[in-house]
Amino acid sequence: MRIILHIWRQKNTDSPGKMVRYEVPDVDEHMSFLEMLDVLNERLIEEGDDPVTFDHDCREGICGACGMVINGVPHGPERGTTVCQLHMRHFKDGDEIYLEPWRARAFPVIKDLLVDRTAFDRIISAGGFISVSTGSAPDGNAIPIRKEDAELSMDAAACIGCGACVAACPNASAMLFTSAKISHLNLLPQGAPEKHERALKMVAQMNQENFGACTNVAECEAVCPKNIKLENIARMFRHWIEASAAERAG
């Protein structure tokens, strides 16, 4: 099939950028979306043009590197699917597809569809870890964990840090991401001793990074490829309020 692409081209963070039209004939329905972009890029290179820059790594939905806005929706039309797992069979001959980078002040465009997501790394560095000396591997059943907590923690740990939640939010809020990372550790006994400090530090870092506030629009949950739930944001607030009250009480 023949696909018409309108792609955001921007040389670097400071240049203005614009949409550029490309035609990709002979797209196979079994191609992944990124393979279709690879085909376009091979042609652009052959013609001496600058290939389209986009982020990717694992191409199997686990690393969180890929991500772009496809026809106005982060990661495109399929729910619970990263761009690298989206296939061309979900499009039809003659479709016009608009591709843009994540739009958020905290994620400046580096080039074309590639954005700088190091703000997420700084949020993790602020408290997304357990600071204990772990020693050798403990026995698997040494620390009993309630099944419900283990499952909630596991669900939160599924966050791949892609940033689609920020891109979908009209406030560019990072609360779904930050709350998933806090929940993942705070729900487990290993993370519990630092849960208040973690919530305070990670929320403080999030606030420093130019992300907006949450106003319960819930677009983040709708586009998240890993189905991270809004309830994580409620849990983050609870832990943050408890921590703030404990801090005030001295």
Which partner from the list ligand SF4, ligand FES, none does 66 bind, CB cut-off 5 to 8 Å by kind?
ligand FES
Site string for ligand SF4, 169-208 (x = CB under 6 A): -------xx--x----------------------------
| Cβ–Cβ under 8 Å, residues 243 and 196 | yes
β partners of residue 23: 4
Our CB check for ligand SF4 shows the closer of 117 and 195 to be 117
Instruction: Name the minimum Å distance from CB 210 to ligand SF4.
Output: 16
List phi, psi (to 5°) of 9.
-110, 125
**Cα 74 to Cα 9, 52, 70, 102, distances in angstroms:** 17, 18, 6, 7
- Spatial contact of 77 and 71, defined as CB atoms under 8 Å apart: yes
Residue 65 near residue 58, CB atoms below 8 Å: yes
Determine which residue in the list 163, 209, 211, 240 makes contact with ligand SF4, applying CB under 6 A.
Answer: 163
Report 77-136 residues binding ligand FES (CB under 6 A).
82, 84
Question: Can you tell me whether residue 132 is helix, strand or coil?
Answer: coil
- Which one-letter DSSP state was computed for residue 32? B
CB of 191 to ligand FES, least distance (A): 25
115 touches 102 (CB < 8 A):
yes
Cβ neighbours, 10 Å, residue 250: 4
Nearest-10 Cα torsion for 52, 54, 59, 65: 180
Cα atoms in the Cβ-side hemisphere of radius 13 Å centred on 114: 12
Q: How far is the CB of 160 from ligand SF4 (least distance, A)?
A: 5
Residue 56 sits in the site that holds ligand FES (CB under 6 A): yes
Q: Does 37 bind ligand SF4 (CB under 6 A)?
A: no
Which residue lies nearer to ligand FES by CB, 111 or 196? 111
Contacts (Cβ under 8 Å, ≥6 apart) of 237: none
Q: Is residue 57 near ligand FES by the rule CB under 6 A?
A: yes
Shortest separation between residue 74's beta carbon and ligand SF4, angstroms: 7
Does the footprint of ligand FES cover residue 63 (CB under 6 A)? yes
> Residue 164: which of ligand SF4, ligand FES, none does it interact with, CB under 5 to 8 A by kind?
ligand SF4
Number of residues near ligand FES (by CB under 6 A): 13
Footprint of ligand SF4 on this chain (CB under 6 A)?
159-165, 176-177, 180, 224-226, 228
Footprint of ligand FES on this chain (CB under 6 A)?
56-59, 61-66, 82, 84, 160
